[in-house]
Amino acid sequence: MSAPTMLHVLMNTIINEYFGNSYCIIILADQTGALNYRGNIPIVNIHPINAEVNDSIAYHGHGCQDIVIDHDDPLKVFESFEFNLRLHKARFNFRRYLIPAGDMSIFNSTNLEYVVNLLVIVPDDTESNCFKLVTHQYVGQSGNNDPRILDYWFGHNQSFLHGNDLFPDKLRNQQGRTLRCATFNYKPYSIIENSPPTAVGSENAIAHVFAEMLNMTIEYIVDDKEWGIIYDNWTGDGILGHVAIDKADMGYGALYTWAHEYQFLDLSKPVVRTGITCLVPAPRLADGWLIPFFPFSFQMWLWFSVTFVLLSLATIGITAYVTKHHLEYKHHNSKGKRKGTINYRVIFNQSMIKLTQIFLIQSLSFRGRAIDTTFRYLFPIFLYSLIITATYSSGLAAVMTLPRYIGTIDTVWNLAKSDLRWGATQDAWIYSILEEKRPQYKTLLNKFVATSKENLLGFAKTNRFAFSIERLPSGQFAIGNYITEDIVKRLRLMHEDLYWEYCVFMVRKSSPLLEPLDTLILKLNEAGLILFWEKEAVGTHMDMRVQKVVAFYRASQVKQADSPVVKLMWVHVEGAFGILFFGLLFSFVCFIIEVVYKRKEYFPRKPYLV
């Protein structure tokens, strides 16, 4: 039996024994050395061109996690496959490689750092018809890519020397292998003030439990870019950038399920749900002269003004028509007397006075004039005015002695319509709403400010800025340390969240660490440990006075406190007296004008019938 034939027998033996539960197998082979696979597992045959893998086939979402490379240049094909899998949506977190090779050159590939299950078949130089079955060390703090012989296979009797497991579980005990964690000091998620690394913070504790579970050693990767960014050319900074450029194995610190980052990284199962809201300037106590306007909303005042104008026009028009009809009738019976003239100015004045009397619940006197005839047939006006005045009086009585505030911001629309800017230390706070099409969110994106903590502290003193914070599932809040006790007392918590998100860990795309990390997160959530660590971090490392003030705002939103009722004071009626004063002043000015300009001379009386 020739060596290539024995090699294919060995490969079929390994596939049938270890790949039996595979969904399918990708075989990357050149035209001459294609594996003659004999089995029932579906296969996807791909022939690399110049050792380059065809992207449209290999990463088409077949669900294959087992890859066989049977090629004259296995190192180049392996690196091409590993490079391209990061550029496509398909994930290969459970991938296993079976590679026949002529030498050990494949163990020089840096991509082996991110591969767990690898089996290389190499001819044994010391004995004919014998193959070495080799993998890489992977575990340990050094020499992770060093080759490690698992077993030997002899072609003459088709048997293994030791019968060892050819795909051992290297994840379970990584023997102190370094776990590089990209994070920063963001309470209560990650607190890294102490050295050596300690498990303080809800997500930091998860990382430490994960490292302990897999027997790994944590190393922090930190810079001042906080969450950072990933650019389309696979560069970046901060947590996101460090994981994308393989400077870190995982990243955490209030990372959300961002669509853009999913193109470059893998996202874990949700850790917690968090709501993003704002601390906004406290509303101001309304001036007393505004009280008469509070019973109706702006829209109600607008509709009332429109209906009043329409009623006025209708009354003037009907009165003019009745007056004209009376004049024509009187002229017809006067036998040649001069026809009277309609005085529209008087009709306007009388109509407005009558309507005002009705809406102010004043009695009307009827003297048989045309204006009186008009109102006899406009009964709906009286009914309408009764409803409006009763509603206004009830509303005025309700707001007269209760404190009223203006500038209240409780919803997303309130914040968008206000003249306030809002912001934080990083653009990461708006990553989740960058693709929003709703107008209020487009406005918020334009008003967001990402700046330093020093500038935010300065904005806080102006009382014209809103600060983004997180509403945590434990009832606590993630608040920047630039919001101190004296500042938070001038702010109020929005009732509505701007948006909500799931916090996740992020790892390298197709990382083998994702599956054990997901399992751990689900178990910790079931046990309630994540919420416990969150409360512990807040209580130990955050300003509890600030937390209590914000929690009080939250409690007041859930259960509205009784508004204090006070005695009637001048501030409650100054608006009404102001309207009375300006009305008397206007009447007095009109009276003076009439006297000065001699009403009889400049406004001669015209014949009219009203």
| CATH code (residue 217) | 3.40.190.10
Picking from 26, 20, 99, 98, the residue whose alpha carbon sits closest to that of residue 64 is 26
Residue 401 has pLDDT above 80, yes or no: no
pLDDT exceeds 70 at position 374: no
Domains held by the chain: number: 4
Together in a domain, 147 and 214: no
**CA nearest to 257, candidates 273, 241, 246:** 273
Lowest mean per-residue pLDDT among 5-19, 319-333, 534-548 = 319-333
pTM for this structure?
A: 0.77
More confident residue, 129 or 570: 129
The verdict on residue 561 lying in a domain is: no
Q: Measure the CA–CA gap between 143 and 171, rounded to whole angstroms.
A: 16
Q: Are residues 156 and 180 in the same domain?
A: no
- Same domain, yes or no: 153 and 186: no
Together in a domain, 62 and 204: no
Q: What per-residue confidence (pLDDT) applies to 216?
A: 96
Number of other CB atoms surrounding residue 78 within 10 Å: 26
Domain final position from 160, 191, 225: 160
Does 78 fall in a domain?
yes
Would you give the DSSP letter of residue 562?
Answer: P
Give the model's confidence band at 555: pLDDT under 50 very low, under 70 low, under 90 confident, else very high: confident
Task: Grade residue 607 by pLDDT with cuts at 50, 70 and 90.
Answer: very low
Say if 48 falls within a structural domain: yes
What is the identity of the amino acid at 608? Y
Tell me the C-alpha to C-alpha distance, in Å, between residue 24 and each of 4, 43, 113.
Answer: 24, 5, 25
Q: Residue 331: which pLDDT band, with cuts at 50, 70 and 90?
A: low
- Does the pLDDT value for residue 251 go beyond 90? yes
The DSSP call for residue 220 is E
Is residue 64 assigned to a domain? Answer: yes
Domain identity same for 124 and 240: no
Distance, in Å, from the CA atom of 473 to the CA atom of 534, rounded to the nearest integer, reads 9
Higher-confidence position of 332 and 241: 241
pLDDT in tens, 283-308: 877 666 777 777 888 888 898 889 88
More confident residue, 295 or 130: 130
Nearest to 479 by CA among 315, 254, 281, 307: 254
Beta carbons of 133 and 119 less than 8 angstroms apart: yes
Q: Compute the distance between CA of residue 553 and CA of residue 60 in angstroms, rounded to an integer.
A: 52
DSSP string, 141-172: SS-TT-EEEEEEEETTTTEESS---SS---SS
Could you tell me which residues come within 8 angstroms of residue 266 by beta carbon, excluding any fewer than 6 positions away? 91, 93, 506, 507, 508, 509, 510, 511, 514
Of 122-136, 494-508, 573-587, the range with the highest mean pLDDT is: 494-508
Lowest-confidence region among 82-91, 264-273, 321-330:
321-330
What are phi and psi for residue 192, nearest 5 degrees? Answer: -120, 35
Q: Do 89 and 231 share a domain, yes or no?
A: no
Are 147 and 195 part of one and the same domain? no
Cis preceding linkage at 188, omega within 30: yes
Please indicate, yes or no, whether residues 153 and 190 belong to a single structural domain of this protein: no
- Segment among 20-29, 32-41, 137-146 with least mean pLDDT: 32-41
Q: Are residues 25 and 113 in the same domain?
A: yes
Helix (H, G, I), strand (E, B) or coil at 469: strand
Domain extent at residue 125: 6-160
| 11 and 137 share one domain | yes
Q: Domain end: 118, 136, 160, which one? A: 160
Structure tokens at 233: 């050319």
* Residue 444 reports pLDDT greater than 90: yes
| CATH at 20 | 3.40.50.2300
Residue 596 has pLDDT above 90, yes or no: no
> What pLDDT, on the 0 to 100 scale, is given for residue 60?
76
**What own/partner pairs with CB < 8 Å and gap ≥ 24 does 76-82 have?**
76/51, 77/28, 77/48, 77/51, 77/53, 78/106, 78/109, 78/111, 79/109, 79/111, 80/48, 80/51, 80/52, 80/53, 81/28, 81/53, 82/109, 82/111, 82/114, 82/115
User: Contact, 22 vs 6, CB < 8 A?
Assistant: no
Q: Which of 445-449, 476-480, 511-515, 594-598 has the lowest mean pLDDT?
A: 594-598
**Average pLDDT over the chain, rounded to an integer:** 85
Which residues is 132 bridged to in the sheet?
A: 122, 152
Q: Using the Cα atoms of residue 243, residue 247, residue 250 and residue 253 in order, give the sign of their dihedral.
A: negative
- The tens digit of pLDDT for each residue in 205-222 reads 999 999 999 999 999 999
Q: What is the DSSP letter of 47?
A: -
Q: Is 144 part of any domain?
A: yes
In this structure, are 12 and 148 located in the same domain? yes
Q: Is residue 180 part of a domain?
A: yes
Please give the pLDDT value at position 392. 82
pLDDT at 568: 64
Indicate if 39 and 108 belong to the same structural domain: yes
**pLDDT number for residue 357:** 79
Is residue 529 one of the residues assigned to a domain?
A: no
User: Once rounded to an integer, what is the mean pLDDT over residues 261-278?
Assistant: 96
Cα–Cα distance between 443 and 54 in angstroms, integer? Answer: 44
Domain boundary among 94, 129, 160: 160
pLDDT in tens, 82-111: 998 898 888 999 999 999 998 899 999 999
Q: Is 506 part of any domain?
A: no
